[in-house]
Amino acid sequence: MLKLVTMSKQHIRLVGLQDPDHLLYVSLLILGLDPVALEHKLKTPVNQKCFSRINRKLGDAILHFLYVCLDREKAGKTFRDCWPVLDKKRESQFYKAAFEWYKTLQQSYKQPVPTIMTKTFMEPGGSRFTSTLMILARIALHTSVNKRGLRMRTSISIPVLPVIQYQNGTVAAARREMTELCI
C-alpha cells in the first residue's frame, strides 16, 4: 500500500514507492497500458518485475506505447515506416526516430530531461533503459494531465483521473494509488 506522508508544503515523502520498477509499472497502467493483452500478444510476462530483464520486443512495445501517449498523431507519422519492428532495417529506423523525438523533448519540455545516448534504446533492460522509460512515462503523465485541463501544483491537490474498468481491477487500483500521490 502506498502512503503519502506530508513533511511540508514543498517536500513530500512517499512511502512504499522506493522500487522504480513498481513506479514505472503503475505509471504505465495509469496511462492505459493493457498488460494482459500485451502479454498475450508478445508471449512474455508483463508485470512490475519485467523491467530489469526486459526482452527487446517488450521494450520496443512499451517505448512505442509511451510515445503514442505523448502525441498519438506525431507517433503515427514518426513511426509510420518503422512500426511494428519486423526486421533490422525497421529496428534501426525505430530507434533513430525514438532518439530524435527524445532529443526534441529535451529541448522543449519545461522540466529537465536527462541526456541519453542512442545505445540506451538499442539495448533494452537494465537501470538506464528503465530510467529512460520512467522519464518518458513522467512526461506522458504530465501531458495527459495537461490535455485533460487539470493543473498540477506542488501543494497537495489531487487530480481526479477517470477510472477504467478492468478485469481484475489493477488499473483502477493503480489510478487510485497515483491520484493519492498527486503524481
Are 28 and 1 in contact, with CB atoms under 8 Å apart?
no
**Which residues of the chain fall short of a pLDDT of 70?**
1-18, 150-183
What's the grid cell of residue 153?
501544483
| pLDDT tens by residue, 124-177 | 877 888 889 999 999 999 988 888 776 554 333 334 444 444 445 566 566 666
Q: What is the pLDDT of residue 109?
A: 85
Q: What is the reported pTM?
A: 0.73
Are 66 and 140 in contact, with CB atoms under 8 Å apart?
yes
157-164, long-range: CB < 8 A, 24+ apart: 157/182, 158/182, 159/183, 161/30, 164/32
Beta-carbon contacts of residue 145 (< 8 Å; ≥ 6 apart): 152, 159, 183
The C-alpha atoms of residue 98 and residue 133 are separated, in whole angstroms, by 12
Identify the three-state secondary structure at position 13: strand
The C-alpha atoms of residue 85 and residue 119 are separated, in whole angstroms, by 17
The C-alpha atoms of residue 126 and residue 41 are separated, in whole angstroms, by 23
Largest CA distance in the chain: 52
Q: What is the pLDDT of residue 135?
A: 93
